[in-house]
Amino acid sequence: MNPIPFADYLVLALFALIVGTTIGGALIAALSTRIIRGVSGLMMCCVGLGGLYYFLNSPFLALMEILIYVGAVCVTIVFGVMLSEPDEPPHQESRRHAALWGGGALLVCLAIAFGVAHLGLSGPWTEPATRVNDGSVEAIGLALLTTYSLPFELISIVLLVAILGALVIARSGRTKE
């Protein structure tokens, strides 16, 4: 039936690889001591998320994720790393104190993970009877220019103001005195 032999297994292996990239990248981003490794972990995580979006029937969003996050956000953070000294300082707190805080943070996060996952798995989700459109790029473009045209314009204004504000804030210390 399938033109390629073992196509299902290939898809499963690819899916496992993408999920592993996402989780591994997130762990590296949150746990590494050197901040530049954290940025690389964020890049890995975003590439994995792009693959997940591809599996979720949205190749356009997959490309946008890689373009915006890997291409813009991570590169901007690398510039920030270059202009400051962001490495984690050595532990000044006592060992017991650190273990206490680490354990507390871990407890909170496990509680959040289990709670949110339980909500997601046990929620009364219902499949829709019909779909209005197929979710293609054409449908996204039509919705952006008709129903969502006001938020679309507002996002562009927000981006413009953010860039101008970033320039003003970062420039203020550079004038010659």
Interacting positions 12-71 with another protein (CB under 8 A)? 12, 15, 19, 22-23, 26-27, 29-31, 35, 38-39, 41-42, 45-46, 49, 52-53, 55-58, 60-61, 64-65, 68-69
To the nearest whole angstrom, how small is the minimum distance from the Cβ of residue 113 to another protein?
4
Counting Cβ atoms within 10 Å, is residue 154 exposed (0-12), middle (13-18) or buried (19+)?
A: exposed
User: Binding residue for another protein (CB under 8 A) from 63, 99, 100, 155?
Assistant: 155
Alpha carbon distances (Å) from 67 to 31, 70, 73: 25, 6, 9
To the nearest whole angstrom, how small is the minimum distance from the Cβ of residue 3 to another protein?
17
User: Binding residue for another protein (CB under 8 A) from 5, 95, 96, 130?
Assistant: 130
Number of residues that bind another protein (CB under 8 A): 92
Nearest Cα neighbor of 21 from 40, 49, 48 is 48
Q: Which is nearer to another protein, 5 or 120 (CB)?
A: 120
How far apart are the C-alpha atoms of 18 and 137, rounded to whole Å?
Answer: 23
* 47 neighbors 21 (Cβ within 8 angstroms): yes
Q: Which is nearer to another protein, 5 or 89 (CB)?
A: 89
Contacts of 36 (CB under 8 A, 6+ apart): 78, 81
To the nearest whole angstrom, how small is the minimum distance from the Cβ of residue 176 to another protein?
14
Residues 134-153 that bind another protein (CB under 8 A): 134-135, 139-140, 142-144, 148, 151
Nearest Cα neighbor of 20 from 40, 43, 49 is 49
Alpha carbon distances (Å) from 102 to 93, 129, 159: 12, 47, 37
Residues 73-112 that bind another protein (CB under 8 A): 73, 76-77, 79-81, 83-89, 92, 101-102, 105-106, 108-110, 112
User: Binding residue for another protein (CB under 8 A) from 1, 4, 150, 169?
Assistant: 169
